[in-house]
Amino acid sequence: MDTQLLPANEAGIAAAAALLQRGQVVAIPTETVYGLAANALDEASVGRIFAAKGRPQDNPLIVHIADTGELHRLAAGLPPEAGKLAEAFWPGPLTLVVNSAGAVAGAVSAGLGTIGVRMPAHTAALAVIREAGFPLAAPSANHSGSPSPTTAQHVLADLSGRIPLVLDGGAAPVGVESTVLSLAGEQPLLLRPGFVTCEELQEVLGRPVAVSGAVHAPLAAGERAASPGMKYTHYAPRAALTLVEGRFADYAAFVRLKAGAETGVWALYPERPDDGLSVPSVVYGRAGDSASQAAALFSALRALDDNGAATVYALAPRREGVGLAVYNRLLRAAGFRVVQV
C-alpha cells in the first residue's frame, strides 16, 4: 500500500477522520510522540494496529479522548482521584490506568480488565478524535521495539507501505511517551515515567505515588508485568548501547579509552560547552535541562543508527523530574547494561 504524507491542516485532518471511520489506521502527531491510531471501539480496526506495528497482542493500547466526559463512559468505578488528575494535567502527557467499563475493543486492554486513557495536548490530535467521532486507540507509531517516532519522517522510516496515511504536525515537543499512572490498585502506581513527574502527581494527589520496580530494573524471570509494555526491550537502536554512570570527566576518559581500543564507538550525551571529547558523538538536548533532553532523545537514537554506530556509550542522565523519563528510556535502549566510572 502507498503511504500518503499530509500536513496536519484541515484537509489532512478530514482525510484522517475519513480513513478512521472506514476502519483504517492513521499515524497522527501528539505532543509526546506520533501515535498509530484506530477506532478504539472496533475490534477489526484495533487489530490493524497490531498488524502494522508487529506488536505483541498482550501489550495493551492507550485510548485517546477529546473530552473528560469520555473517561466517565469508558471507565468503571472511577476513583475521584482520576477526575482530580484529569483536571490538573489534561490535555497533556499523562495516561491514567483505570478499570474498564467494557466499551473498548478487547485487544485494547489485552485482557487486563483495565484501560489506559489520556487526552493529548495537540490541536490536530484532538481535532482528529472529534471529527472521527470515537476515541482512538494509539500506541507509538514505530515498528515494535524501535525508538518511538517524534517526527513524521521517523514514522515513514518504520511504517511506510504498511499504513495509508501519516499526518505531519512537525516535531513532537515533549519527545518521550506519556507518564503512565495506575489508579486501579490501592496506591497510585507509576508504571512509566514521563513529562508529568512523580513530584507533580504527588502534589495534586496529596499522597505518595509508588514507583513500579519495572521502571528501574528488568522483570525477574516469570514475574508478571503490571504494565506489559515494560517487559519488552524498547527504544533500542541497532547499536549495542551501554549506560555509563559517573561524572562527565570520568565518562569522557572512559569513552576515549574504548574508542582507542575498538572501532565503531560512539558517545551519546547532552550538549555542554567545550566538552573536548574528540570521539564520534551524537549530542541531544542540553546538560542540566532534562526537558530538552527528552525532546531530542529518540531522534538521537535514530541518528546513531543512521551513522552506523556499532557500540554506543551513553552518559547516564540525572534521574530527577523529567530526567527519570530520559533515564528510563536510555536504560531500556541499553537492555539494562549499566557501568559505573
Interface ranges with ligand TXA (CB under 6 A): 30, 32-33, 35, 59-62, 93, 95, 97, 109, 112, 114-116, 120, 138-140, 177-178, 180, 191-192, 227-230
d(CA 329, CA 324): 9
Q: Which 3 state secondary structure label does DSSP give 39? A: strand
Q: State the nearest-atom distance from the C-beta of 234 to Mg ion, in Å.
A: 7
CA 38 to chain centre: 17
Pick the closer one to ligand TXA by CB: 167 or 230: 230
d(CA 189, CA 168): 34
Q: Which residue in 114, 140, 290, 292 binds Mg ion (CB under 5 A)?
A: 140
DSSP 40-87: TT-HHHHHHHHHHHT--TTS--EEE-SSTHHHHHHBSS--HHHHHHHH
Which of Mg ion, ligand TXA, none sits in contact with 227, Cβ below 5 to 8 A by type?
ligand TXA
Closest CA to 258 of 241, 237, 270, 235: 241
Pick the closer one to Mg ion by CB: 62 or 283: 62
Q: Is 328 in the site for Mg ion (CB under 5 A)?
A: no
Q: What's the farthest any 2 CA atoms get from each other in the chain?
A: 60
Q: State the nearest-atom distance from the C-beta of 305 to ligand TXA, in Å.
A: 19
Which of ligand TXA, Mg ion, none sits in contact with 116, Cβ below 5 to 8 A by type?
ligand TXA
Q: State the nearest-atom distance from the C-beta of 177 to ligand TXA, in Å.
A: 3
Which of ligand TXA, Mg ion, none sits in contact with 122, Cβ below 5 to 8 A by type?
none
d(CA 215, CA 154): 25
C-alpha cell at 262: 575498538
Q: State the nearest-atom distance from the C-beta of 246 to ligand TXA, in Å.
A: 29
Stretch that binds Mg ion, among 45-53, 64-72, 135-143, 194-202 (CB under 5 A): 135-143
Q: State the nearest-atom distance from the C-beta of 59 to Mg ion, in Å.
A: 8
CA angle 125, 126, 131 (to 5 degrees): 100
**Residue whose Cβ sits closest to ligand TXA:** 229
d(CA 71, CA 274): 49
By CB under 5 A, name the binding residues for Mg ion: 140
